[in-house]
Amino acid sequence: MSRSRGVERSTWPFSRIAGLAALGFAILIVSVNAFLVPAGLPHTGAQTSDVVQFFTTERAAVGLASALAPIAWVLATLFGAGAVSVLWPSDRERGTAWSLVGFAGVILQNITFAGVMAIRLALASGTTQDSGTTAGLWALHDALFVFNGTFLALAMTGLSVSGRRAGLLRRWHSGAGLLAAALQLGSAVLGPLVIDDPGPVGLLGLVGWLIWVGWIVAYGITLIRLSPVADPGAR
């Protein structure tokens, strides 16, 4: 431990914890999708019969995904908070708050996706036998799923702009974040079309999501490599 102005500094800076959390979050969300999608997770706008069949036959897979989701939300929050701890001094000097915009996006996407996972768990519980109820729940699921792109866009925009201005991110990294943000926001704005006919329009969200995963992995590695001396937030 080293000391600065009487304050004990940990050999494990919070930025490193946040970076590891980012990697853990990325691994979890990719893993969850890796076994739910091949198992037949219905796409947005799917027929009620397909929804019923999946959530009746794949309850174990849905249950496992639901068990992992809270861990992913905790990791995402740690990542966002760690990024803000590094970027906030630079934002404050410039009289901006882009890092807080990004953190707000992280928190809002956690809340929104909690709704998505709650609906999936409810459908897999076997208590929603009425087709009308199932159709209503799945319609709500689709709306939340599509609109979640808004908050992913906020997260990537805020943390990309702040990271670039603070000198933390390279141009390609912040550019990738802004591109993915534009794709996610476009998917959210075109939500009705995505739900009615995913087709080519639905690819906007998918491509944006894939870039988002790569973006957060790169962000995590950047935070892990950040030494306390080089940390823009260190004083």
The CA-atom distances, in angstroms, between 57 and each of 93, 142, 157, 171 are 55, 20, 39, 46
Give the residue among 142, 200, 209, 201 at the shortest CA–CA distance from 179: 209
- Residue pair 203/56 in contact (Cβ under 8 Å)? The answer is no
Tens-place pLDDT, residues 114-167: 999 999 999 998 766 677 788 899 999 999 999 999 999 999 999 999 999 999
What is the C-alpha to C-alpha distance for residues 132 and 163, in angstroms, rounded to an integer? 47
Cβ neighbour number for residue 116 with a 10 Å cutoff: 17
User: pTM of the entire structure?
Assistant: 0.88
Q: Helix 59-94 to helix 14-36 angle, to the nearest 10 degrees?
A: 150
Tens-place pLDDT, residues 200-229: 777 888 899 999 999 999 999 999 998 654
